[in-house]
Amino acid sequence: MTDIQQGGDTATTMTEDAQGQPALEVSDLHVEFRTRDGVATVLNGVSYHVDPGETLAVLGESGSGKSVTAQTVMGILDSPPGFVTGGEVRYQGENLLTATESRRVAVRGEEVAMIFQDSLSALNPVFTVGFQIEEQFRIRRGMSRKDARKRAVELLDLVKIPNPQSRVTQYPHEFSGGMRQRAMIAMSLALDPEVLIADEPTTALDVTVQAQIMDLLGELQRERNMALILITHDLGVVADVADRIAVMYAGRIVESGDVYSLYRNPAHPYTLALLESIPRLDVRGQELNTIKGLPPNLMRIPEGCPFNPRCTRAEDRCRTEMPELHQLGEGRASRCHFASELINNG
């Protein structure tokens, strides 16, 4: 099994909610993938937390580790090749990584639930949508088929699927992409979780449908005072819904803070470059700023700051010395040697 180290950096305690503990807290999480070609350090000390009713956006490109973090939290990391080599995942104070498997099963879905990006492959094609929702009530709640069916119809109605009575008997392929994603949301909410992790919930959808789904998620979150962790690469969606943001790069959180100040005044060159490299609908085209190079190979993460080969500000120090997480006040933090300069110049 996994070897759990205690302690580590306590980056998340800085923004600890005054009124109580966060709904979910990840601290100093380390995960590596042991493959035939070598060991890839996929997570290298990830820490974040999310409070009840809050939306935390985890922003990053492919390979940054945002989905692996979520999989570790859910306890669905494929192992092998993935191994947790350190850190904690605390749900209401309880470390899930040292919990028994039966306890983990109890938490999954019941306390912490997840929505996946690709609803077509996340749903089982040979069972009806209704059956897949009812399963949870029958197994977890010991309900009869009839009662479970009633609850499933209610849930489909809750996520605004028209004609839930007839839809409940249909198979996933009979649903459109947007409706499947609604069904996934219904399924994840069935057992009233406290924390919902949404992994790229709208990436496969068209913009008009994306707007519907994000609205629905926000509405349900408010009603239930649920904590939402939104994993995405879309800076537009984040600006629309997030309270706080954690930006990931090469298995680390490089910057975190509340959405307004982070967009206004990024304190990490990577965040700044990302914001400048996206085409915007409300700004007419001129040459886009690009980030040169590629994200690093996780088997050979550059020494010093992992972003240094692509960074326009990099100096000698960045090539040798890993920047600490600088606390910048008001819940902002950045893992850049020049964080305080960047934030003051903004």
Partner 1 sequence: MAEPILQVTDLVKHFPVRQGVLFKHIVGQVKAVDGVSFELNEGETLGVVGESGCGKSTLAQVLMRLEEPTSGSAVFQGKDMFSLRGKDFKALRRDMQIILQDPYTSLNPRMTVGDIVGEPFEIHPEVAPKGSREQKVRELLDVVGLSPEHLNRYPHQFSGGQRQRIGIARALALRPKVIICDEPVSALDVSIQAQVMNLLGDLQKEFGLSYVFIAHDLSVVRHLCDRVAVMYLGKIAEIGTEDQIYEHPTHPYTQALLSAVPVPDPTLRGHREVIRLTGDVPSPMDPPSGCRFRTRCWKAQDICAQETPALEVRAGGHLSACHFAEEKPEVIAG
Q: Give the strand order in the sheet containing 55-59.
A: 112-115, 195-199, 227-232, 55-59, 244-249, 252-258, 332-334, 326-329
Q: Distance between the two ends of the chain, CA-based, in angstroms?
A: 46
Binds partner 1 by CB under 8 A, chosen from 14, 239, 301, 314: 239
> Which residues pair with residue 89 across a beta bridge?
26
Torsion of CA 247, 251, 253, 254, to 10 degrees: -80
DSSP string of 256-285? EEEHHHHHHS-SSHHHHHHHHHS--TTS--
CB closer to partner 1 out of 171 and 263: 263
Task: Assess 16 for contact with partner 1 (CB under 8 A).
Answer: no
Binds partner 1 by CB under 8 A, chosen from 4, 143, 191, 275: 275
> Which residues, 114 to 173, sit near partner 1 by CB under 8 A?
162
Task: Assess 287 for contact with partner 1 (CB under 8 A).
Answer: yes
CB closer to partner 1 out of 173 and 284: 284
CB closer to partner 1 out of 7 and 293: 293
Task: Assess 61 for contact with partner 1 (CB under 8 A).
Answer: yes
Q: Please, what is the minimum distance in Å from the beta carbon of residue 72 to partner 1? A: 22
CB closer to partner 1 out of 101 and 287: 287
Task: Assess 295 for contact with partner 1 (CB under 8 A).
Answer: yes
Which span sits near partner 1 by CB under 8 A: 33-41, 107-115, 285-293, 320-328?
285-293
Pairing mode of beta strands 94-95, 82-91:
antiparallel
Tell me the C-alpha distance between 66 and 295, whole Å.
Answer: 14
Size of the residue set binding partner 1 (CB under 8 A): 48
Binds partner 1 by CB under 8 A, chosen from 14, 99, 143, 211: 211
Footprint on this chain of partner 1 (rule: CB under 8 A): 61-62, 162, 176-179, 206-212, 215, 233-240, 242, 259-260, 263-264, 273-275, 277-285, 287-292, 294-295
